[in-house]
Amino acid sequence: MAVPLPLPPPGPQFVLRGTQSAVNALHFGGGAQAQGRQLLFSGSQSGLVHIWSLQTRRTVATLDGHGGQSVTWLQMLPQSHQLLSQGRDLRLCLWDLAEGRNAIVDSVCLESVAFCRSSVLAEGQARWLLALPGKGSDEVQILEMPSKTSVCTLKPEADAKPGMPMCLGLWQAESSPRPLLLAGYEDGSVALWDVWERKVCSRVSCHEEPVMGLDFDSQKARGVSGSAGKALAVWSLNGQQALQVCSTHQLTNPGISDITVRPDRKILATAGWDHRIRVFHWRTMKPLAVLAFHSASVHCVAFATNGLLAAGSKDQRISIWSLYQRT
Amino acid sequence: MDPALSVVRLTVREAIHTLSSSEDCGLILSTLRFLKRYLGETEDPALPEEQEEFATVHFSAFLRCLVIKLSPVWLELSPDGQLEELWDSFFLKGPADQAFLVLMEALESTAGPSFCLMKMAQLLANFLSQRRMAALMEEQCRPQKKPGFTLLQETLLNKVVGLPDHLGNRLQQDNLALFFPQNYFPLLGEEVVRVLQGIVDALRGGLDCSVSFMSRVLGKICIQGRQKEILDVLVPQLTVLTQGSCLWQRVCWRLMEQVPDRTMEAVLIGLVEATPGPEVLSRLLGNLVVKSKKAQFVMTQKLLFLQYQHTTPMLQSLLGYLAMDSQRRPLLIQALKELLETWGSSSAVRHAPVTQQHYLSAAILICLAHLREPELRDSQDELLASMMAGVKCHLDSSLPTVRRLGMIVAEIISSQIHPEGPPLKFQYEDDELSRELLALAIPGTSDSSTVLAGGSAPAPTASETLAKTMDDGVESANGSDPQVGPQGSDSDLDSDDEFIPYDMSGDIELKSNKAPLYVRDCMEVLTSSEDMERWEAALRALEGLVYRSPEATREVSVELAKVLLHLEERTCVSGFEGLRQRALVAVIVMDPARVAEYLTSQFYALNYSLRQRLDILDVLTLSAQELSRPGHLKRPTQQVSCGSGAPVLATSQADCTGVSGWRTVVEERIRSKTRRFSKGFPRRELASSPSEFNSVAGYFFFPLIQHFDRPLVTFDLLGDDQLVLGRLTHTLAALMYLAINTTVAVSMGKALLEFVWVLRFHVDIYVRRGLLSAVSSILLSVPAERLLGDLSDELLEARSWLADVAEKDVDEDCREQAVRALLLLERLKDRLLPLSH
């Protein structure tokens, strides 16, 4: 018996068109409070945030709050109708979307013109932490929201010179309430910060090129990062809060702009500069699929809680995929 | 006079008198019983010399008298059946040859269906089933002293072998199953073995015997075409008997040697067919080929050169037989030389049917598998010369199978003759044919298998060994599988079944996107750019650009076609041929008249390579197909957006797109029946979008057909470049077919028929195939009434030619196509007849 031929990769379930500019950020919203009305937020180069209904596959609303400057990051706050959007106009806006409203209720001014996406840590509390690139080019600022009080500024030691932070990930171990921050830097290293102590717990150099995206699985204490280079790095955190590179995975073409582990921690997806979305098995890092649909760089990938995968590309399209879903 | 003899004579005379006159049952019975003494079967037998005299002199006469008396009334004289029993016993117990002859004679002279006839047929059946035939034949094997025995033997031979025919003629519907050839000859086979057993026993006992009668029987049966019936019985038994017995082997050899020359061929062919392998054949034949000229001719010439219907296992046992003995080996080498000579003769390659060439090649490979390098050294130069000539004319052939045969055989010959030299290596597809042939060339497969299998078991055939090796391959492939499995499951504790990777072959390195956005830019890049990536991107983008911007394309169409036609593969671009071809097709489709005009003029221009000329033909066919397809403009955009999927397909098919392109057209035409049935529907569709080929068909067709007979310095269609001519005929046929429902179809058909008429006796098979398909497409495309009105003379001529081809052509494909064309012609007639009423 010969090995059965692998199936050809599937096509997208459907495609959302109409942003009329490159898609830079995606975020699935809705969930429980939306009563099955699943939404997808997309932030575009032209500064608009589109809210898509996945039932009708049409835009529900368009938010214009960044003065025509590119939107780079979108995040819904859990258990609320509030959306955070980060724009290249150096503003971070908080939108209230409850009951069909779409108004900016608050905004934070960024002090860095870098491309670093912010990160949020909010476990259903009234107060939440926001990590965003700081004033100094290598700094990360932590704010307590909604009061906007600065908790601290994380500045690497003088001799480290990691360059600008490129991507951030705030998280909290289940065992302790200490907020921790993972930051990928321009020199290709990933550092773990203890926010309360304002110090680097551990730092590992895993890429030759700037780290472009990272995601962390706090259950397995394992994270993955992608860079402008040709490799993915998987690293883990041991009991002493020390980062170690577990493995690296070579890609065919260089450049990853975003990387996301599915909420059920089974698979992960990368957004490639080579127009392709790659899907890996998270535990084994076995390559599962290479999805070639877009005709320009893929800028962002996002998973919904139900496992749906969305990818936004420079070709102005958002593709929605259904892969390895439990039925 | 010996008093005893006269006593016998008197007794017999008296008995005959009694029988003929008396109605008294008792008297007849006693007379018969008395005579029975002479057969020596009773408790009171007569003197031996009396028996002898009775047997030689009086027996036949007496039997004839018995036959005359036979009637239902006469047999009823003794109600208990004693008389009948006695009557039978004379035939069954007396000397078998005379009894047999009298019986046959009587059967022939007895009229129509009657009691007597049936009675005697029954008796003959008894005679056969009581093994009297063995006795008859054994008698003939004893040393003969009687005068006139040759005549007797001749008669016996005819009767014994012709028995099924005689009986069939006499008995007609009432024939007994035993006399059917399929039953009689196996029985005869059993008898032959029994007789041979008797001879072997006699020889052991020191008696002299001759097997020549047996040989003649065997020969006669075989020449009547009953080899299979008799040898299927004979060969397995002889195979077992000759194993380990020299005496049996000698008897067997003698049996074969004594076969008359006239019948030698039939016997040998039957024997080679029936024996399971060279080992057995060698045991049965001995060194027959060395001793008998006729046998040598049959084995080394007739079976190898004049016939080609035999199976590969048969070839293997034949050549294996030649290889098994040092005396026969020179014959094998000689055969190889002659085989190679034929293989290397260009006339043979051109005129012999493909199946025969395949047969020859297989024979060569089997020979080579048996011969070792030292044996070949003497004739190395000769073999090499034939091989070189052969490779040349095989590669020249326009039939892919013949080319492939040439490559495979050449590779193996060169590796055998020069094992130390650099190996000759061709690129050919690994298909069933090549695998089969390569398996033949592995030395020792046939030898070892027969040795292992011993005498009685048939040697595994080539296909079996092949299957075995393939099984091994699969097993090893499977073997690696389980290794992968556990590895995976070591780390994967939960089920990974749902995470089956998709095909990732499309994950190739991304070329930087430098594709030009305008047709003109593309053209510029293709002609002048030194940046290979850009060049490749331009080539990849071109087809899509052309379809998207018809206006821009039309402005530069001819120029673009020129660029593409002269484009060379500067870097290793996967699917280059396909890309270029598709781009050219796109250009033609966008601006058919001018580009087709240009390309057809270039087809006959100087300074093009054959490849380019073939490309021109291919793209013309493909674009004509594209143009004649209803709604053709919808497809290309889809193709472009396919992205990753399409190039993969293109690479895998790149080699055969040219061939398969028009192949599909030809096949479509061949399936003309289905087209006819579904015609109602497409016709309606055609009405809504007229074929764009209609207005431009002439540009494609006429320039191509006009100049074929004008040779250029570099290009001579009627001479060496027959491959191009073959493609040209196929292209013209395809264009003709695609021109269905166009207004120019009639004049195209007329021109094409003339073209066909000029070339109809072309030697190249490929060209002839093209011509035949051209005729078929004319019959399909030109409206029937116009065909009859304008082209009736040409059609008549074509018809006689088709009939000729259908009957006599060497190529099976040609014959088949001719028959198809004739059928089309017939249908045309059928369609016209109702019209004329």
Confidence band, pLDDT 50/70/90 cuts, at residue B484: very low
- Please confirm whether the linkage preceding B482 is cis (ω < 30° from 0): no
Chain A residues within an 8 Å CB radius of B648 = none
pLDDT in tens, B243-292: 888 889 989 999 999 899 999 999 999 999 898 888 889 988 888 888 88
Element (H, E) at B264: helix B261-274
Beta bridge partners of A93: A85, A107
C-alpha B234: how far from its chain's center?
Answer: 27
Provide the pLDDT for residue B689.
60
Pick from A306-320, B386-400, B466-480, B756-770 the range whose average pLDDT is largest. Answer: A306-320
For residue B814 the two structure tokens come to 């040609």
User: CA A149, CA A156: separation in Å to the nearest integer?
Assistant: 21
User: CA B87, CA B84: separation in Å to the nearest integer?
Assistant: 5
User: CA B233, CA B185: separation in Å to the nearest integer?
Assistant: 9
Confidence band, pLDDT 50/70/90 cuts, at residue A2: low
Residue of A252, A284, A292 with shortest CB distance to B509:
A252
Q: ∠ CA(A272), CA(A288), CA(A28), 5° rounding?
A: 60
* B677 contacts chain A (CB < 8 A): no
Q: At residue A110, does pLDDT exceed 80? A: yes
Q: At residue B682, does pLDDT exceed 90? A: no
Element (H, E) at A217: strand A211-217
Which of A220, A250, A285, A286 to substitute to test the interface with B, most B CBs within 10 Å? A286
For residue B60 the two structure tokens come to 């036949």
B481/A290 Cβ within 8 A? no
Confidence band, pLDDT 50/70/90 cuts, at residue B474: very low
Neighbours of B432 (CB within 10 A): 9
Mean pLDDT taken over chain B: 80
Residue A75's SS3 state is strand
User: CA A37, CA A214: separation in Å to the nearest integer?
Assistant: 29
* A264 contacts chain B (CB < 8 A): no
Provide the pLDDT for residue B3.
57
Residue of A8, A275, A283 with shortest CB distance to B510:
A275
Q: At residue B633, does pLDDT exceed 80? A: no
Q: How many Cβ contacts (< 8 angstroms) between chains A and B? A: 66
Mean pLDDT taken over chain A: 88
Residue whose tokens read 């409206």:
B783
pLDDT in tens, A180-220: 999 999 999 999 999 888 889 999 999 999 999 999 998 88
A2/B499 Cβ within 8 A? no
Q: Taking residues B520-547, what's their average pLDDT?
A: 85
Let me know how long chain B is: 837
User: CA B349, CA B342: separation in Å to the nearest integer?
Assistant: 8
Confidence band, pLDDT 50/70/90 cuts, at residue B10: confident
First-to-last alpha carbon distance for chain B, in angstroms, is 95
Is B101 within 8 Å of B155 (Cβ atoms)?
yes
For residue A202 the two structure tokens come to 């551990």
Type of residue at B272: V
For residue B372 the two structure tokens come to 């070792």
Q: At residue B817, does pLDDT exceed 70? A: yes
Q: What is the DSSP letter of A179?
A: E
For residue A79 the two structure tokens come to 């258990």
Among the ranges given (B68-72, B98-102, B114-118, B196-200), the one the predictor scored with the smallest mean pLDDT:
B68-72
User: CA A145, CA A132: separation in Å to the nearest integer?
Assistant: 12
* A35 contacts chain B (CB < 8 A): no
Q: Which is more confidently placed, B52 or B549?
A: B549
In angstroms, the Cα distances linking B610 to A20, B715, B777 are: 51, 8, 26
User: CA B734, CA B662: separation in Å to the nearest integer?
Assistant: 7
Beta bridge partners of A260: A269
Provide the pLDDT for residue A98.
82
User: CA B524, CA A197: separation in Å to the nearest integer?
Assistant: 63
Q: Measure in Å the smallest separation between the Cα of B548 and chain A Cα atoms.
A: 17
In angstroms, the Cα distances linking B26 to A276, B73, B83, B251 are: 114, 15, 10, 50
A276/B507 Cβ within 8 A? yes
For residue A90 the two structure tokens come to 């150096």
Q: Taking residues B577-605, what's their average pLDDT?
A: 90
Residue of B481, B492, B501 with shortest CB distance to A288:
B501
Chain B residues within an 8 Å CB radius of A275 = 510
Minimal-distance CA residue of chain A relative to B491 = A284
Helix axes B132-141, B96-109, angle to 10 degrees: 120
Give the list of residues 6+ apart from residue B681 with CB closer than 8 angstroms, or none: none
Q: At residue B688, does pLDDT exceed 90? A: no
Is A50 within 8 Å of A42 (Cβ atoms)?
yes
Rounded to the nearest 10°, the torsion over CA A272, A277, A281, A282 is: 50
Chain A residues within an 8 Å CB radius of B474 = 1-2
With CA atoms as reference, report the closest residue to A29 among A59, A47, A53, A62. A53
Q: What is the DSSP letter of B47?
A: P
Q: Taking residues B608-618, what's their average pLDDT?
A: 89
**Residues within 8 A of B (CB atoms), A 146-165 only:** none
Provide the pLDDT for residue A71.
94
Q: At residue B9, does pLDDT exceed 50? A: yes
Q: At residue B460, does pLDDT exceed 80? A: no
Q: Taking residues A39-50, what's their average pLDDT?
A: 93
pLDDT in tens, A94-107: 998 888 888 899 99
What structural domains and CATH numbers belong to chain A? 19-108 (2.40.10.480), 111-217 (2.130.10.10)
Residue of A253, A289, A324 with shortest CB distance to B510:
A253
Confidence band, pLDDT 50/70/90 cuts, at residue B442: confident
In terms of C-beta distances under 8 Å and separation of at least 24 residues, what long-range contacts does B323-332 make, across chains too? B323/B278, B323/B370, B323/B371, B324/B278, B324/B279, B324/B282, B325/B282, B325/B287, B327/B287, B327/B290, B328/B287, B328/B289, B328/B290, B329/B375, B331/B289, B331/B290, B331/B296, B331/B299, B331/B300, B332/B367, B332/B370, B332/B371
Residue of B477, B502, B643 with shortest CB distance to A8:
B502
* Predicted TM-score (pTM) of this structure: 0.60
For residue B340 the two structure tokens come to 């190679």
Beta bridge partners of A258: A271
Q: ∠ CA(B529), CA(B531), CA(B534), 5° rounding?
A: 90
Q: What is the DSSP letter of B710?
A: S
Confidence band, pLDDT 50/70/90 cuts, at residue B378: confident
With CA atoms as reference, report the closest residue to B733 among B815, B669, B825. B669
Minimal-distance CA residue of chain B relative to A289 = B502
Residue B714's SS3 state is coil
Q: At residue B677, does pLDDT exceed 70? A: no
Q: At residue A31, does pLDDT exceed 70? A: no
Q: Helix/strand/coil (H, E, C) string of A269-307?
A: EEEECCCEEEEEECCCCCEEEEEECCCCCEEEEEECCCC
Which of B491, B507, B514, B533 to substitute to test the interface with A, most A CBs within 10 Å? B507
Chain A residues within an 8 Å CB radius of B644 = 292
Confidence band, pLDDT 50/70/90 cuts, at residue B513: low
Provide the pLDDT for residue B45.
72
B503/A7 Cβ within 8 A? yes
Confidence band, pLDDT 50/70/90 cuts, at residue B671: low
Q: At residue B650, does pLDDT exceed 60? A: no
Q: At residue B642, does pLDDT exceed 70? A: no
Residue of B502, B506, B509 with shortest CB distance to A288:
B502
Helix axes B765-781, B657-670, angle to 10 degrees: 50
pLDDT in tens, A267-312: 999 999 989 999 999 989 999 999 999 989 999 999 998 889 999 9
Provide the pLDDT for residue B818.
93
Task: State how beta strands A48-53 and A58-64 pair.
Answer: antiparallel
Give the list of residues 6+ apart from residue B147 with CB closer than 8 angstroms, or none: none
Pick from A268-272, B74-78, B370-374 the range whose average pLDDT is largest. Answer: A268-272
pLDDT in tens, B516-532: 888 888 888 888 877 88
Residue of A9, A252, A295 with shortest CB distance to B502:
A9
Type of residue at A114: A
Provide the pLDDT for residue B641.
34
Provide the pLDDT for residue B710.
81
Q: At residue B406, does pLDDT exceed 50? A: yes
Type of residue at B559: E
Half-sphere exposure in the Cβ direction for B372 (13 Å, CA): 4
User: CA B649, CA B644: separation in Å to the nearest integer?
Assistant: 9
Q: Taking residues B647-652, what's their average pLDDT?
A: 33
A286/B503 Cβ within 8 A? no
Beta bridge partners of A169: A182
Type of residue at A67: G
